[in-house]
Copies of this chain bind each other. A is one copy, B any other.
Amino acid sequence: MTTPDVRRAGNGSGKITREAVLAAALEIIDRDGADALSMRRLARVLDRDPMIIYRHAPGKAALLDGVAETVLGQLQVDCADPDWAGQLREVARRYRALALAHPHVVPLIVTRPLATPLGLRPAGTLRPLEDILALLTRAGFSGPDALHIYRALFGFIHGHVLDELQELVENPDETDDLLRLGLHRLPIGEFPLLRGLAPVLGGYKGAAELERGLDILLTGLTTTLPPPGATRPPAPAQHPAS
């Protein structure tokens, strides 16, 4: 870093907003993961003293919550969509897109609310829940049924996204699936099936898997719960290739 003007502690110019802090934190996490986020490093990115951060967030934990909130807050739900099942599909797809865009944030989204009661969670985290409840009650479902559907959907999405991220590999340069997945290091005798499935594991397509899961989930839901109104059956939907 060539700094001709040596200020003792780096200070840029202009005010620092909470959004700027969170954006910088997200940048670090996206690049190097959540463990790489330290107050001092974040301050270096902001070109300020580490202590300013505490003017915009009460502590590091709140900061992580804030990052998770900003990402999850980008998930939009169209409460007015008359085709509730289709809307749930799109929400799932958008969620997956968000997760792939910010893979290092997914652990935060999934993990941090574990110790926090519902009402104490940041508002941005609760917005999708409320919106989906709105969508479903507007479609005629009872409150408890809507809640049940929300749980089933997000349970599925969380699980799917985690599983898909687990299958991502860092060096896609390697052509041989066995090597790319590191499967050659496994004891041959103990994991014969796993090793044999290397090519299938390598060719994993998350988007298709998501659609298949959604088919199962939505048909299951519409047959289990009374689909209100004189609306149509679920319609297995078209699969966009990707």
**Residue A50 CB within 8 A of the other chain:** no
Q: Please tell me if the beta carbons of B126 and A191 are within 8 angstroms of each other in the complex.
A: yes
B201/A147 in contact, CB under 8 A = yes
Cβ-neighbour of A182 out of B115, B120, B185, B220 (below 8 A): B120
Interface size class for chain A?
Answer: 35 or more
A129 interface residue, CB < 8 Å from B? yes
Residues B182 and A130 in contact, CB atoms below 8 Å apart: no
Q: Are B117 and A107 in contact (CB under 8 A)?
A: no
Instruction: Give the residue of B113, B165, B200 whose beta carbon is less than 8 angstroms from that of A144.
Output: B200
What CA separation (Å) do A162 and B213 show in the bound complex? 18
CB distance from A62 to the nearest CB of B (A): 14
Q: Is A140 an interface residue (CB 8 A)?
A: no
Asked if A119 and B183 sit within 8 Å, CB to CB, the answer is yes
Find chain B residues with CB under 8 A from A126 CB.
Answer: 186, 191, 194
Q: Complex formed: what's the CA distance from A72 to B158 in Å?
A: 19
Bound CA–CA A200/B148 (angstroms): 10
Q: Are A197 and B119 in contact (CB under 8 A)?
A: no
Q: How far is the CB of A164 from chain B (nearest CB, A)?
A: 8
Contact A151 B184, CB 8 Å, known A126-B191, A130-B194: no
In the assembled complex, 9 residue pairs joining A and B whose CB atoms fall closer than 8 Å, in A order, are A111-B111, A113-B166, A119-B183, A148-B209, A152-B216, A155-B159, A155-B213, A159-B160, A216-B220
